[in-house]
Amino acid sequence: MIIIMLGAQGTGKGTVAGIISKQTGFPQISTGDIFRENISKKTELGIEADKYMSKGNLVPDEITVPMVENRLKEDDAQVGAILDGFPRTIEQAQKLDEMLAKSGKKVDLVVNLITPKDEIIDRMLTRRVCTNQDCKTTYNTKLNPPKVEGICDKCGAPLKQREDDSDPDAIRRRLEIYEEKTSPLVDYYKEKGVLRTEQVSISINRLGNDVAMDIVKDIK
């Protein structure tokens, strides 16, 4: 089963994907992790990707798509996989469809998380991330604070606020860009009949854990 996660930063996309992964055994696959792994292993694609990432540029599709394809061929992804951060464009979505069709698979479910903008901004301003790159656990000082302020519960490393999470205006601009780029994807998957839109919001007392467990129930 192939699941795609859509949702702006701050909607709890990673949390929902992580819970679904834990409950189903499907690996949570992000393009960022794929890039880092290929770069660390110095694969041919990783070397090419690093040329772009080291300059702060986006990695082109001709490198990204084969990396995703290779990852989906690994043993742990044969029964199912959760894609987080891919596809980002209609072109990537079409290439993913072609890629999956080669092995008789398809996108089965697209989870589109939405949260009110003001709530997203507040979540991102109060978000803290573990500085240990092998851990990278995310906390929220209001919704999901660590047991000890500024310290990761899991590994004991210091927590930090990302630079791009500290400016409300910058966050608003990122949300606008996300909506502009992602709205065509929402329509694309809606037409295919695989889109599931879920609101994650304190205002309706429905957070990521609630959404994730409902999805897991439906999958099983």
Q: What are the boundaries of each domain within the chain?
A: 2-26+79-219
Which residue of the set 36, 88, 105, 136 is catalytic?
88
The pLDDT tens digits of the residues spanning 34-81 come to: 888 899 899 999 999 888 888 777 788 999 999 999 999 999 999 999
Told to judge if 174 belongs to the known catalytic residues of this protein, a careful annotator would answer: yes
Told to judge if 71 belongs to the known catalytic residues of this protein, a careful annotator would answer: no
Report yes or no: 39 and 53 within 8 Å, Cβ to Cβ. yes
Q: 150, 25, 30, 21: which is closest to 83 by C-alpha?
A: 30
pLDDT in tens, the chain (220 residues): 999 999 988 898 888 998 999 999 999 998 878 888 899 899 999 999 888 888 777 788 999 999 999 999 999 999 999 999 899 889 999 999 999 999 999 999 999 999 999 999 999 999 999 999 888 888 999 888 999 999 999 999 999 998 878 889 988 988 888 888 888 999 999 999 999 999 999 899 998 899 999 999 998 7
Query: Measured between alpha carbons, how far is 16 from 57 in angstroms, rounded to an integer?
Result: 28
Told to judge if 105 belongs to the known catalytic residues of this protein, a careful annotator would answer: no
Told to judge if 36 belongs to the known catalytic residues of this protein, a careful annotator would answer: no
**Total-model pTM:** 0.84
Q: What is the CATH number of domain 2-26+79-219?
A: 3.40.50.300
